[in-house]
Amino acid sequence: MTMVVDVSGGVPDHLIRPHVLLFRQQHVPAIDLEFAGYPPESSGAKSKNHIGPHRCRDGKARALTGCARLSESKEANIVSNPETGTTGVVGLGNMGLGMARTLLRDGFSVIGFDVSMECQAKAAASGVTIVAGLSELFEACPTIILSLPTANHVRKVLGGDEGLGGRDIDPRLVIDTTTSEPDVTRELDAVLRMQGHILIDAPVSGGPAGANSGNLTMMVGGGDADVARAMPVLNSLGGKITHVGPVGAGHAVKIVNNMLVASHLLTMSEAVRLGNAAGVTTENLIAALNAGSGRSAISEVNYPKWVMNGAFDSGFTMGLMRKDVRLAMALAKDKKVAMPVSELAGQIWAASEELLSDNADFNRITECDPTHAGAKS
């Protein structure tokens, strides 16, 4: 099968040549909810000694301007915080269920809701109390975590007459881990804040392994006091937590992160083909790159774990990554930022829809084989 990528959108021909991509059609089981990119550095015991890019060498917490302060003792933080207790999780797919399990293990009571009966059953088997609808969850939970596929799902849960914003209840703390849209997040924050509710965005990276181990990387947007209030829950879920700015900033950073992942997968696949053509095996090439300055999470994790062995079972789908790339392109357009290289990457990801289903593993984009140059007119 061939796929022609249309690169007629104003990018100079001498900088980019259109690709015809050859894929082997493959499918992997669908997942219900999204997560980002790649797993944590280790699936073992989680480390709580990171605050954003800073490491606390003596293991003590440090209060750093602009960064979330991690507690010296997670257990002490949980016990001392009055809101520790019942936490709601909306969305019990791969990520939501993993986070619910971690919260249960750390002493939280967890109430969950998902539209999927299968997801409900899995969560119930893990000890999550399942409710019939969002109304019950909103009433019972002072803290609510969202793990949903898109901003539209978040809007339905939080906005409108049927959402949190349409109910007359005490103020709630909402932690949105969805890879969502910054403008939508800020819009919902303005509505909820008028009713006393707090919304922070805390999208995650680390996959189901990170969710289940409590070792997620979290990019947090919100006011200092609001983020501090959320720290008991964030500390339970995250191994690396960075407070990147006000509400919406976390979602902006996550979009940038996933655009880089999407681009790195494409450039890494080209690098492998070039090395192979020059007579270097993929194994030797990856080993050398990972010892040098060209390494990345794609070379260190994705290729060994999911690509080179043919597993392609990361749990993150083509559909979700295509959605995230679209978000990045829309954000760049809105902010009037020229990104010709990322634009080409976005076109390749968009065109891949012709050959790879939304449920296929996102690492299959590395099977692109550009063997022909030509563009749609």
Residues 13-63 have pLDDT tens digits of 333 323 222 222 333 233 333 333 333 333 344 444 333 333 332 333 323
**Which uninterrupted H or E stretch holds 70?**
none
What pLDDT score was predicted for residue 368?
74
Which of residues 237 and 45 earns the better pLDDT score?
Answer: 237
The architecture that CATH gives domain 252-367 is Orthogonal Bundle (1.10)
What pLDDT score was predicted for residue 2?
43
d(C-alpha 342, C-alpha 263), whole Å? 7
Q: What class is the 50-245 domain?
A: alpha beta
| Other CB atoms within 10 A of residue 288 CB | 14
Mean pLDDT score across all residues of the chain: 81
Kindly list the catalytic residues. Answer: 254
Residue 131 has pLDDT above 80, yes or no: yes
Can you list the alpha helix ranges (DSSP code H) found in the chain? 74-80, 94-105, 117-125, 134-140, 151-158, 182-193, 207-213, 224-237, 249-277, 282-289, 297, 318-335, 340-351
Residue 377 has pLDDT above 70, yes or no: no
| pTM for the model | 0.78
- What values do phi and psi take at 72, rounded to 5? -65, -35
The CATH 1.10.1040.10 domain(s) of the chain lie at: 252-367
Residue 298 DSSP label: I
- pLDDT > 70 fraction of the chain, expressed in percent and rounded: 75
What pLDDT score was predicted for residue 160?
78
Confidence of residue 85 (pLDDT cuts 50, 70, 90): low
pLDDT digits (tens, 9 = 90+) for 266-322: 999 999 999 999 999 999 999 999 999 999 999 999 999 999 999 999 989 999 999
pLDDT digits (tens, 9 = 90+) for 207-233: 898 999 999 999 999 999 999 999 999
What pLDDT score was predicted for residue 59?
35
What pLDDT score was predicted for residue 280?
99
Which of residues 121 and 26 earns the better pLDDT score?
Answer: 121
The CATH 3.40.50.720 domain(s) of the chain lie at: 50-245
- pLDDT > 90 fraction of the chain, expressed in percent and rounded: 71
